[in-house]
Chain A
Amino acid sequence: MIIETINLTKKYAKLVALDNLHLNIQDGECFGYIGPNGAGKTTTIKILATLLQPTWGEARVCGHVVGYESRKIRPLIGYVPDFFGAYEDMVVVEYLEFFASAYNITGGERTRVVNDVLELTDLVYKQDALVDSLSRGMQQRLSVARVLLHDPKVLLLDEPASGLDPRARIEIRELLKELRNMGKTIIISSHILHELAELCTTIGIIERGKLLFHGGLKEILAKAKVGTRIQVQVTEQQDLAAICLEKVKGVKSVTQDDGHLTLELDGQTHDFSAIAYALLKNNFRIRSIKEEEVNLETAFMRLTKGLVS
């Protein structure tokens, strides 16, 4: 277990940001951390990055306890905050050399490492540019370059794609995929759920400081799928069709959306012939019948209530 939290609780005065959080992340896992704003994602990441101490409970990174063995943890992690920490009057190479020096990488080794990460993140042509003059996308790439300097085991990324344009987002995602393939353990919080679904091996959903779910993507989708939801489109008289379908056995509820009807069925089924039969029997013309797809977004909406601490 590379990351483990036991009853992790963090309070800011009366506000409970984390409430007895239990989290286990395996070596090499790419963990997507999702939740509404103010749910406790940043607090968790900050605790794991040794920037905050828990009010009570315990957090372990690579077996070391946060707060007691923070010095041992720091060389093992790479932290990318949600805001880029720009040093004014520093150029890209200086910025990377500054942090390489902070990780005690010196002499020729430092030059080699800095050149390597510049190449990996495709920033060679920007090496003499002032850091605060870079675009948001470039700054974020530089942040990733920075955390790679000391080859950490764990990457803690707090919304690395926020505020980026589509191209920069895709580039960062590809970079993270490469890092995942290199065997790094990645903890990434984000609001761009479909990207997390593509990148992460496990997902954790947090709300009001409590972990609502933690598991693989398939598990979360299965959990979110309670019963069966299907979408039905008829050519006309949608209101009457809704009344008709409400009477069909096995239909729990019918809701009218813009241009289609959403039916919630009892239990899991893939047999929609009773629905089709009822409609045809009452002379409704069917345009389509399809099962509603459950993705990470719908799972997130179903599992959370949109509440914040």
Chain B
Amino acid sequence: MASATTAHSNPAFSRLAAWLWYLVPANPILVRVVYGMSRRTRHLWLRFGYLSILLTVVTVALLTAGTARGASLGDLAKGASQTFMLASITQLMLMCFLAPVFTAGAITQERDAQTYNILISTPLSNAQIVIGSLLSRLYFVVVLLLAGLPIFVTTMMYGGVTQGQIMRSFAIAAATAVVTGSLAITISMVRVGTRRTIFSFFMGIGIYLFSVYFLGDWPRTWVAEAPPDINGDRMSWLCAFHPFLALDVALNRVQAPDIAAVAHHGVLAQYFLAYPPTMYVVLTLTVSCLLIVLSMFFVRRGTRDGEDAFFGRLLSRLRWRRRGSSTRKPHQVWANPVAWREAVTRASATSRGLGRFLVIGCGLLGALILLGYYAKGAAGFTAAQTREWLAAIVAIEFGIVLIIAANTAASSLTKDKESNSLDIMLTTPLTSEYIIWGKLRGLVSFVVPLIAVPVLSLLVFAVWDMVRRPTERVVYIETALEIGVLLVVFAAYTCMLGLHFSLKQKKTIRAVILAVGVLIVANLVGYLFWNAITTAAGLLGAALAAATPFTAIGTLIDPSLLFSTPRDYLSSISAIRISALVGCTIFVGLHAAVVYSWYRSMVKGFDMIIRKQSGTK
């Protein structure tokens, strides 16, 4: 009562309370989303899917982790701890996928809906617009996190899991979502975001997560003061900068050093090394706050359009192709105009062209560095070790190629739909067969130079070994050719997947998210499942590996994985080569048949789907 009176009597306090009230709980942007989005059937299904995955992981883990009747309390606690670990990793993986998906839309949403100018012409403050946009994007992700909480609490029943661990795991997941959302909002507010930026946003996040995680495995990043685990591995100093590395520490999978052991470092470094999960949360939230504050300066920057400001000059430098006049020298149009458009004009777009050069350049550079190490035998690089690295490099390169292919294919028809140019194309004599064939041909032409990089890398090693004739070769020449043919077929598969979503969806963003999501999940599940089969199949595994892209890359480049000892492997090389060649031929035929039948069915359904979409505009 007394405080209420004070608030009443103090106008500054009342104003602050009102400002805070309208900043978050009564923020009109947030309120609209909370009322509207929470009732959407699609979101209910997503929530259902998320919880189903978590529940399945927890149930399976609990049933298989020594919690059966008659188990001791210690076994139960240990089982619960393992279950919690699995659930936390699953939750973070889902969050790393869902948070970008839900926040990326912010990059172009206002521009697409043309509501941005309306929004900034209202009395809403910059802070309200930025916070409202961010929270409305994060709302769904936070609801998902909270919905999963009861599942985590069940693991506490058996002991072995503490409240603190659950909180740390949730804090890491939530902080990851917040920083992703803040980044998307900043891109949106700075207004450099286009639909292509969404793809770069996904790629950036994916590359950061993978590359930093792998770097964390590199002994040079290990903290000497951290206690080693049973394999002799130590905690990396990158733990405070990466959600999965931070989670590893939170789950006690690796031990952080005691603060006393790192006392010789600076104060901040001490905390980063001794408390990585906490510092990860602090760091991401600080970065998020900085991004939010930065965004606030850009909300009404449009009022200064045309002025010669610093950022304007910077942006015009970045958009080098468009600088000055909006003209360029025309290209020669091919006999198949649809293929030409896919392969030439879309590929020549600034960011895409740059991306292709980056992928090709980095891939070739990586292979040459590895060849240098192998040739000199530096850092103890044997043929076996080089094979492992080469397989990893080719897998990463091809992973990137597949994502680029899926993104390009998924946007190929939706972009035509969004720009109304598909309608015009449909009034020409071009048939659905011609259009889809043209798209597919153009996409494969676009992707082939990218595929050439891993194949060239393999060929370089094969030729090097042919000339040097060492006792154990890294790869054989036919491996490069087998991988090349397989990669073209898998790229065609991915292009068909992208085209499928591009045909079925009306919006580019949704088509890209679905295509890339299905691609990642299918490859992940396919790899885990098929890899278990191939590694257990021994010599036959070399033939079976060609069924999925990443088992093919892993097993065909490094078939030693199929054998328990190097001697077994070396004695079976000829048999492996024959087995791989036969398997490769069979699976290339099978995959090509599937791609062709998919293509035929798409041609058949094309007119019907497009017509149906025209009727539901």
Contacts and interface: CB of A to CB of B under 8 A. Distances in A.
Nearest to A104: B429
Nearest to A84: B420
B423 to A, nearest CB: 6
Count chain A CB atoms within 10 A of each CB in B340, B427, B611, B616 and give the residue with the most.
Answer: B427
Contact of A94 (B330, B336, B346, B429): B330
A157 B424 CA distance: 12
> For the complex, would chain B's binding face be called helix, strand, loop or mixed by DSSP majority?
loop
Contacts of A93: 330
Interface string A243-255: 0000000000000
Contacts of A106: 335
B431 interface: yes
B421 A71 contact: no
A53 B615 CA distance: 10
Given A91-B330, A128-B328, A71 B419 contact: no
Nearest to A127: B330
B428 interface: yes
Given A74-B429, A86-B419, A102-B429, A51 B614 contact: yes
Given A52-B611, A85-B420, A98 B333 contact: yes
A90 B328 CA distance: 9
A89 interface: yes
A89 B345 contact: yes
Count chain A CB atoms within 10 A of each CB in B327, B341, B345, B615 and give the residue with the most.
Answer: B615
Nearest to B338: A102
A71 B420 CA distance: 20
A91 B331 CA distance: 9
B349 interface: yes
A46 B617 CA distance: 13
B45 interface: no
B330 A81 contact: no
A88 B334 CA distance: 18
B326 interface: yes
Nearest to B425: A102
Contact of A81 (B340, B424, B611): B424
B421 A87 contact: yes
A81 B430 CA distance: 18
B354 interface: no
Nearest to B331: A94
B333 A83 contact: no
B252 interface: no
B590 interface: no
B428 A130 contact: no
Contacts of A128: 327-330
A71 B335 CA distance: 19
A90 B427 contact: no
Contacts of B327: 91, 128-130, 133
B337 interface: yes
Contacts of B334: 101
Contacts of B341: 87, 90, 98
A99 interface: yes
A88 B423 contact: no
Interface in A60-118: 71, 74-75, 77-79, 81, 83-91, 93-94, 97-104, 106
Interface string A125-140: 0011110010000000
Interface in A38-72: 46, 49-53, 71
A75 B427 CA distance: 8
Given A87-B421, A91-B328, A101-B337, A46 B349 contact: no
Interface residues of B, number: 37
B611 A146 contact: no
B333 A101 contact: yes
Interface string B368-389: 0000000000000000000000
Contacts of A81: 420, 423-424
A128 B324 CA distance: 14
Given A87-B345, A102-B429, A102-B430, A46 B420 contact: no
Given A12-B615, A89-B346, A51 B333 contact: no
B427 A50 contact: yes
B442 to A, nearest CB: 12
B424 A88 contact: no
A269 B611 CA distance: 53
Contact of B326 (A75, A87, A98, A130): A130
B349 A89 contact: yes
Given A75-B429, A89-B348, A94-B345, A146 B330 contact: no
A46 B613 CA distance: 13
Contacts of A88: 349, 415, 419
Contacts, number: 104
Interface string B424-457: 1111111100000000000000000000000000
B424 A71 contact: no
A85 B422 contact: yes
Given A12-B616, A85-B421, A74 B428 contact: yes
A3 to B, nearest CB: 15
A92 to B, nearest CB: 8
A52 B340 CA distance: 27
Nearest to B422: A85
Nearest to B321: A89
Contact of A85 (B337, B419, B614, B616): B419
A146 B424 contact: yes
Contacts of A91: 327-328, 330
B420 A130 contact: no
Contact of A99 (B337, B345, B420): B337
A89 B347 CA distance: 10
B423 A85 contact: yes
Nearest to A93: B330
A97 B341 CA distance: 11
A17 B419 CA distance: 24
Contacts of B427: 49-51, 74, 77-79
Contacts of B333: 94, 97-98, 100-101
Contacts of B426: 50-51
A130 B327 CA distance: 5
Nearest to B346: A89
A83 B423 CA distance: 10
A53 B420 CA distance: 18
A183 B416 CA distance: 32
A145 to B, nearest CB: 13
Given A98-B333, A128-B328, A129-B326, A79 B615 contact: no
A125 to B, nearest CB: 11
A83 B420 contact: yes
Contacts of A87: 341, 345, 416, 419, 421
Give 7 nearest A-B pairs by CB, closest first.
A85-B421, A133-B326, A101-B337, A97-B333, A102-B428, A85-B420, A79-B427
Interface of A: 12, 46, 49-53, 71, 74-75, 77-79, 81, 83-91, 93-94, 97-104, 106, 127-130, 133, 146
Interface of B: 326-331, 333-338, 340-341, 345-346, 348-349, 415-416, 419-431, 611, 614-616
Given A51-B614, A79-B427, A84-B420, 6 more contacts: A85-B416, A90-B345, A101-B333, A128-B330, A129-B327, A146-B424
23 contacts: A49-B427, A50-B426, A51-B427, A51-B614, A71-B429, A74-B427, A74-B428, A74-B429, A83-B420, A87-B345, A87-B419, A88-B349, A89-B345, A89-B348, A89-B349, A93-B330, A94-B330, A94-B345, A101-B335, A104-B429, A127-B330, A128-B329, A130-B327
